[in-house]
Structure 1
Amino acid sequence: MTIKVLIVDDSALVRGVLSEILSADPQIEVVGTASDPLIARDKIKQLNPDVLTLDVEMPRMDGLTFLDNLMRLRPMPVLMVSSLTERGAEITLQALELGAVDFVTKPALDVKAGLEAYAQTLRDKVKAVSRARPRGRSDAARPPAASTRPRALRTTEKIIAIGASTGGTEAIKNVLSAMPPDAPAIVITQHIPAMFSAPFAARMDRCSPMSVCEARDGQQIVPGHVYIAPGSHHLLVERSGARYYCRLSDAPPQNRHRPSVDVMFRSVLDHVGTNAVAALLTGMGEDGARGLLALRELGAHTIAQDEATSVVWGMPGAAVRMNAAERVLPLEQIAAQLLEWTR
């Protein structure tokens, strides 16, 4: 069964390049293109696509307004096509909050060559997005229920480690917004481009009672704080005496990713041991599954997000198949369980 794709972009060059790249895969059929959201609205009705690729900045109606209307009236899998700029990053994060499943970036210069350079990634993302469970607008806006917020903690010796990819920006938001301000320190690896990680950390800081930042090399890890891996470096946890520190590494990608969840989990295994609790959230691929298994085998508590609440059940699904997860839980229960284990 082929995946029907509608491409929405105001650039004729981008529409042509995306059409050529995606059509090269026999599992993907580009059923149409649109130069703005108003044309796209009519073509969605006519062509009934499985996946929409959507530019973030377009004439007549901006991509965010269109996406907001789409996710309220006809939720469907959407892959955002973003520019690698600070403004592009902020708009893309808003789009993910509104219900877009994932995004790809297009370079500012030589767009054709830049897109062709990661043609296979584009095709893989379209396939993953087609299998995703799009959230309606009302779901995207719903905060975690107050009843899921556990009481504040007293212990400060634990570290919580979280990994995520596709769908992870909103899953992480769900977990962090349910944490008390004095929760144990949290380290996070989310697959995200370098330009996007700082705006993502700032966005999480605004929605969490904890203090959230993009991790810096040598930064001390302390309770009440969250450290998010920069999009260009692996995030490792190191210990010196009784203190934990962030260590950033530009070592080669692991599982095709830098930052890699497995790299972070292995450092947590080596330096935190059974004082760690770990969770693997929604995401495409298998990054983090083996690291989670190693943590469980050591005796640390581990969680995988369940299939029903995952946008893409790739990473947590791989962990479940490996028996790496002590618990498999819906997203809304993960924060409470992590906190329970750190008491």
Structure 2
Amino acid sequence: MSKLPNIGTSIFTLMSKMASEYNAINLSQGFPNFPVDERLTDIVAKLAKENVHQYLPMAGYPPLLSKIAALVKKSYGRIIQPESEILVTAGATEGIFATIQALVKTNDEVIILDPSYDCYEVPVLLSNANPVRVSLNDDYTPNWTKIEKACSAKTKMIIINNPHNPTGKILGESDFDALEKLLHNYPEIIVLSDEVYEYITFEKKHISAHTREKLLNRTVMVSSFGKTFHVTGWKVGYLVAPEYLMKEIKKVHQFLVFSVNSISQVAISDYLDLVSVQEIGSLYQKKRDYFRELLQTSRFELMPCEGTYFQVASYASISNENDVDFCKTLISKYGVAAIPISTFYADGKDLHLIRFCFAKDNATLEQAAKKLCAI
């Protein structure tokens, strides 16, 4: 008997498979297709011949832990203890999985805000707990009245994703004020703050949970070097949490992967001496602006994009198809792959919106835009 009877092939796998079958331009899955910084690949080439190929400490390479602490202090002004409050994980997904498995028990409830990334619900189900899916407003702002009504004495965790995938929305000051009020009313709730796109933000300033004093002792922060340095295949992320929570998360982590691959950790540690994370937002803002400019003459209506490397677009003036079927048509007939937003909702809510990934080289964006503008 399946432990996950309602979980099938992910929409990302499905759309990428179709893109391959139809030789379509793949703007569905969220990974860059342009070269990695040569400074980083040069570091890897040098390290390949050095003694960095055996197990590292379970929590992470000590110099990397110290540099993460320095990065958090520089970015957000928060002082954290490298040895007790940081954990290097096998990508953000493993960090999320380990956190939920460690902190959520049978019959607990976890608030998930829809549209939501698909890796949140599964570890809740595997914990014999209950995901409580609460939809954002249609403009993708949180409805805090509705969220608080969904909370109960059984609520153990609320998951926030900021900047938000798939919508590119960023939480504002009033959202954090409302969250802090909710936590005051429910003192047992832990926040899991997925901020893997924290350095990919544009005109609107990203507010991190790291900067909110009232959240620090009740929040597990999730970050991703894969997203930040566009090395998604390395699967290296990290968690920051108060020691009393981190102790429990480490217990699960050590039996999932024990320690994250060594050469990637050492390479990132060395690379952090050379790179400024502030460069990342500028890189993607240029790509966002270029992609939006290329689609100006199309029939798609582009939604605001405040962060991430995703552009949500309405196709309401093009087709009445549901968004899953429209994405299939987009691949088979027009040669471009995207992701339907309804698949991020528990109830399949369909607003005729799809998500494009613009983390691609300019030639790919130009080719895709030419096809999309011809529709």
Taking structure 2 as the reference length, the TM-score comes to: 0.30
Taking structure 1 as the reference length, the TM-score comes to: 0.32
Structure that is richer in strand per residue: 1
